[in-house]
Amino acid sequence: MQFIKRKHRPEYAAVQREWAVWVKQMEKILPGYGEQNEALHWMVRILTGVRVLYCLFYLIMTFVYGMEKTNAVMTLLGPFIFYGWYMLMLRESPVLTVLMLIGRGASIVWGGVSLLQMSWWLPFPLVFMLVTAAAIEFIEAVFCIYMLFNPLARHTIRLNRAFARGMRVQMPDEVLE
């Protein structure tokens, strides 16, 4: 069995063509849609990259200080979960964004409490972890607020949702096979 790379699958090419046509149409209706959509996606990539770096540092601290490995595994899964959640936020309802915003606020508190329970650490890594985690959570909360209250971002997400729903309805069966 030979694997076909994603970019060489016929359905990928069909979706990319439809997406290019969609973006051109939306640029006529809403100037700045393409740039806003690209900016939102880049912000998601940057937030995910920062979270990956934080997880690698946390993983190093886990091995250096002999902490439980379950914390490291859960922290390592975090960027994948958040990336999926953010990508879903970029094409679904604002309810997901509100839930993420609430989660960010709660995570600042619970994450700080759980890190403070590790007081047997050296103070410098502990302070660094607390400040870094709080900064990441705060930036993610600001991103959620931006997505909720910026009219262009909200409209871009609505258009992404319309495109995703339209693709589910319009995709011919022979392309899906």
CA distance 58 to 45: 20
Largest CA distance in the chain: 61
pLDDT for 71 beyond 70: yes
pLDDT tens digits, one per residue of 76-118 = 888 888 888 888 888 887 888 888 888 887 777 776 666 666 6
Q: Say which range, 58-72, 97-111, 161-175, has the weakest mean pLDDT.
A: 161-175
Is the model more confident about 168 or about 163?
A: 163
The structure's pTM equals: 0.74
In order of 63, 104, 111, 135, 140, the CA distances from 127 in angstroms are 18, 19, 13, 12, 20
Both structure tokens of 164? 């995703």
Amino acid identity, position 107: S
Is the model more confident about 112 or about 64?
A: 64
pLDDT recorded at residue 49: 92
pLDDT tens digits, one per residue of 142-155 = 998 998 899 988 88
Amino acid identity, position 125: P
> DSSP 3-state assignment of 43?
helix
| 43-60 mean pLDDT | 89
Amino acid identity, position 112: G
pLDDT tens digits, one per residue of 130-140 = 788 888 888 98
CA distance 157 to 173: 27
